[in-house]
Chains A and B, each alone.
Chain A
């Protein structure tokens, strides 16, 4: 857990891109309590993005990358869609192969990394849109959960196919008029969080990305539980402001409106019993670490 693997040879330092120099000098690899608060003071693992101005997905990307507990040993798997336009700019290894096969890729990847690095932690995190997760890739999403594959699945739910221009998706709300739903969508939003629970996920959260601290918490929990116990699933509302007729400044408010108690993205969480136990253990360790740090700080100042 350090920057050891990204150090630059002194002789080559001046010819390396400034992005890379920044990453070595000022990124949060190896920082145990890294999180959303590092944004703005540290080099982020996302260099730029090519999403629309004000896209909530770009916020989600930054919070998630700031919150991964072990980015120096995390491999991410994406799918075709708006996310695949961002991943090339991310400083962790990430795989884009086809549309909808992300959980199958992650299954093979996680197993290969376990075979090759039996004594080390290598986290795998899937991040894909709702079309990839729920429509074309649903089979592979569920089957990875049935098999108890030990990785996290994150779905950026924007309730439509954004990258192809706003077509109906399974996670779209009933009645919404969209391309390919010319008289309004005829069936309910697929209840994937409930399906995830029934399919064997140990940690399921349905929320928006309006609060970075919340995103940080659920990402850390999801990755830790997936590492130790089994599959975890996060469904994050990242509205496509373009396709729902909002302006660049209105993404945050759209998320806040949608997370009110009776709304479809009101915070919902499921934690299995073994996962609860793990979280309690992690919380206790965290408390211990903070107390020790405080004591050390006290000694230093005394």
Chain B
């Protein structure tokens, strides 16, 4: 094997300097910039030393996917093309990752669902692909509006799943995500989710790292499984293909491999905590009323807390950043004083509330709601109303709620 030499401090072909990621993310000067979420994805990718990006149009990620094409044209990405469907794109991403590339893709809603067969395969093959999921409705009749139901389906694929609230989260987590994903003891794909439109199509001030600094390149030989590039030819891949054996050894092999994927998610915990500064953020955890949320529901929750404060109701907040690894201990600790836990969500089934109920003692404290879905917005007033109603306080009826 070739001797590994640090590339930190050297330049890539675009003149960017490969920079120690911790320094780049935490110490380098930041420039405030007014960008849409899609533009922020592009700016993160400019600094990500990405080898292959594969694109497919689906609202609301099409703009980001096309902007990364511009980066390719400028020479920042090794290769870029439009695949024929999300199923094919996710397989193309797998092929590129099997070949030792750092891979990026974006998808949304029905695209996530169409590609679904690939995700457990990515995890099982230990491919540290990063996929941006700009969540949108997956229901019929057709909807292109924000709705986070698709995240529920990603939670058991063996991927890491993070849920960004803002464009700033997005910028930082795309870059940090590669570092966590590519750790040899993790080496799993990351679904980096956000609420479509709310994050992708709104402008926000985002503090960007210097454009002349970029991540160190991916080293495929730090992978816990062989890179399929014939640089280290096998005598044969394995003695018997396990698929054809109906015996205990075969079952045990598959079982232990599944357990290993989930153990790798567990091992990602320490890296995720380090890079995300904890799996959750908290405010006022001594309050008896807590809002626990992820994605833009956090922003709405924060606003609801301000409105409640005006009425003298004290309320705390938990922002769940990582869904896999799941911050079990952290949520238990942050909600231990709470008598009422509200979980506002942009989906009909309330998957986050179910996860929380399965995590904390005395789960009758959890009020699964309010829920909006199908593209509806979540005015902070409906969170306030939900909380006041549950507490037996008088609440003004909201239009359309039939109360």
Please report A residues at the B interface, Cβ cutoff 8 Å. Answer: 5-6, 17, 19-20, 23, 29, 47, 50, 72-75, 77, 84-85, 87-95, 97-98, 101, 104-117, 122, 139-140, 143, 147
B95: nearest residue on chain A (CB-CB)? A108
| A107 and B237 contact, Cβ closer than 8 Å, known pairs A75-B229, A93-B226, A101-B87 | no
Contact B235 A85, beta carbon cutoff 8 Å: no
Return A14 CB to nearest CB of chain B, in Å. Answer: 15
Q: Are A116 and B241 in contact (CB-based, < 8 A)?
A: no
**Residue interface mask B65-97, A partner, CB < 8 A = 1:** 000000000000011010111011101111111
Q: Which residues of B contact A47 (CB under 8 A)?
A: 235-236
A95 to B95, CA, bound (A): 8
Contact B236 A91 (CB under 8 A): yes
Are A93 and B230 in contact, with the CB atoms below 8 A? Answer: yes
Number of CB contacts from chain A to chain B under 8 A: 160
Most chain B beta carbons < 10 A, residue from A85, A89, A112: A112
Q: For residue B234, which residues in chain A have a CB less than 8 angstroms away from its CB?
A: 91-93
CB pair B101–A116 under 8 Å, yes or no, is: yes
Which residues in A have their C-beta under 8 angstroms from that of B81?
Answer: 111, 147
B154 to chain A, nearest CB (A): 17
- When C-beta atoms are compared, the residue in chain A nearest to B229 turns out to be A113
Check A115/B229 contact, CB under 8 A, given A23-B235, A95-B95.
no
A74–B230 CB distance below 8 A: yes
Q: How far, in angstroms, from A89 to B244 measured CA to CA in the complex?
A: 13
Minimum CB–CB distance from B56 to chain A (whole Å) comes to 12
Chain A residues, CB < 8 A from B92? 104-105, 107-108
Stretch of B117-125, B274-282, B290-298, B359-367 on the interface side: B117-125
- Asked whether B83 lies within 8 Å of A104 as measured between CB atoms, the reply is yes
Q: Does B184 contact A (CB under 8 A)?
A: no
A109 CA to B93 CA, complexed, in Å: 8
Residue in B91, B99, B233, B238 whose CB lies within 8 Å of A92: B233
Whole-angstrom distance between the Cβ of A205 and the nearest chain B Cβ: 25
Chain B residues with CB below 8 A from A6, complex form: 233
Q: Residue among B88, B97, B101, B244 with the most chain A CB within 10 A? A: B88
Q: What residues of chain B lie closer than 8 Å to A20, measured between beta carbons?
A: 235
| Min distance, Cβ A123 to any Cβ of chain B, angstroms | 9
Q: How far is the CA of A147 from the CA of B54 in the complex (A)?
A: 13
Does B232 contact A97, Cβ atoms closer than 8 Å?
Answer: no
Nearest Cβ in chain A — how far from B117, in angstroms? 6
Known contacts A84-B241, A88-B236, A140-B84: A115-B52 contact under CB 8 Å: yes
Q: Which residues of B contact A88 (CB under 8 A)?
A: 236-241
- Does chain A have a CB within 8 A of B342? no
- CB of B237 within 8 A of CB of A97, answer no
Contact indicator B51/A90 (Cβ below 8 Å): no
The answer to whether B88 and A143 have CB atoms under 8 Å apart is yes
Task: Report the Cα distance A116→B231, complex, angstroms.
Answer: 12
Q: What are 30 A-B pairs with beta-carbon distances under 8 A?
A: A5-B230, A5-B233, A6-B233, A23-B235, A47-B235, A50-B240, A50-B241, A75-B230, A77-B95, A85-B241, A90-B237, A91-B233, A91-B236, A92-B233, A92-B234, A93-B229, A93-B230, A94-B237, A104-B89, A104-B92, A105-B98, A107-B83, A107-B92, A109-B228, A112-B51, A112-B78, A112-B79, A113-B99, A116-B100, A143-B83
Task: Say yes or no: A104 contacts B91, CB within 8 Å.
Answer: yes
Set B91, B99, B231: member contacting A101, Cβ < 8 A: B91
Looking at chain A's contact residues, the main secondary structure is helix
CB distance from A79 to the nearest CB of B (A): 11
Collect the chain B residues with CB atoms within 8 Å of residue A110's CB: 95, 99
| A97 x B125 contact (CB < 8 A) | yes
Residues in A neighbouring B255, C-beta threshold 8 A: none
Tell me if B249 counts as interface (CB < 8 A to partner A): no
Chain B positions within 8 Å of A, measured between CB atoms, are: 51-52, 54, 78-79, 81, 83-85, 87-89, 91-101, 103, 117-118, 121, 125, 226, 228-241, 243-244
Which of the residues A19, A107, A122 comes within 8 Å of B230, measured between beta carbons?
A122
Instruction: Tell me if A111 and B233 are in contact (CB < 8 A).
Output: no
Looking at A77, A85, A111, which has the most chain B CB atoms within 10 Å of its CB? Answer: A111
- Bound-complex Cα distance A132 to B362 (A): 51
CB-CB under 8 A from B235, the residues of chain A are: 17, 19-20, 23, 47, 91
CA distance A298 to B378 in the complex (A): 88
> Within the assembled complex, what's the spacing in Å between the Cα atoms of A109 and B239?
24
Q: Cα distance A122–B241 when bound, in Å?
A: 26
CA distance A16 to B235 in the complex (A): 10
Please, how many angstroms separate the alpha-carbon atoms of A39 and B289 in the complex? 76
Task: Evaluate contact between B99 and A139: CB separation under 8 angstroms.
Answer: no
Which residue in B85, B101, B243 is a CB contact (below 8 Å) of A84?
A: B243
Taking CB atoms, residues of chain B closer than 8 Å to A23 are: 235
CB–CB A92/B79 < 8 A: no
> How far, in Å, is B369 (CB) from chain A's closest CB?
38
Assembled-state Cα–Cα distance A84/B238 (Å): 12
A87 to chain B, nearest CB (A): 7
B215–chain A nearest beta-carbon distance, Å:
16
Among all A-B residue pairs, the 10 with the closest Cβ atoms: A108-B95, A112-B99, A115-B78, A104-B91, A108-B96, A112-B101, A108-B92, A101-B91, A109-B95, A105-B95
Residues of B within 8 A of A107 (CB): 83, 92, 95
From residue A182, how far is it (CB to closest CB) to chain B in Å? 27
Which residues of B have CB within 8 Å of A112?
51-52, 78-79, 95-101, 103
Q: Inside 8 A of A50's CB, which chain B residues have their CB?
A: 240-241, 244
Query: Given A72-B230, A116-B101, A139-B84, does the pair A106, B237 have CB atoms closer than 8 Å?
Result: no
Beyond A101-B87, A117-B229, 4 additional pairs, beta carbon < 8 A: A87-B241, A112-B51, A113-B99, A139-B88
Distance between Cα atoms of A29 and B233 in the complex (Å):
11
Contact partners of B236 in chain A: CB under 8 A: 19, 47, 88-91
Is the beta-carbon distance between B88 and A101 smaller than 8 angstroms?
yes
CA distance in complex: A89, B118 (Å): 24
Report the bound CA distance from A17 to B96 in whole Å: 31
B233 and A75 within 8 A (CB): no
Given contacts A17-B235, A85-B243, A85-B244, contact A104 B229 (CB under 8 A): no
Chain B nearest CB from A214 CB (Å) reads 27
CB distance from A202 to the nearest CB of B (A): 19
Q: A72 and B85 in contact (CB under 8 A), knowing A112-B96, A112-B99?
A: no
Instruction: Flag if A72 contacts B233 (CB, 8 Å).
Output: yes
CB of A52 to closest CB in B, whole Å = 12
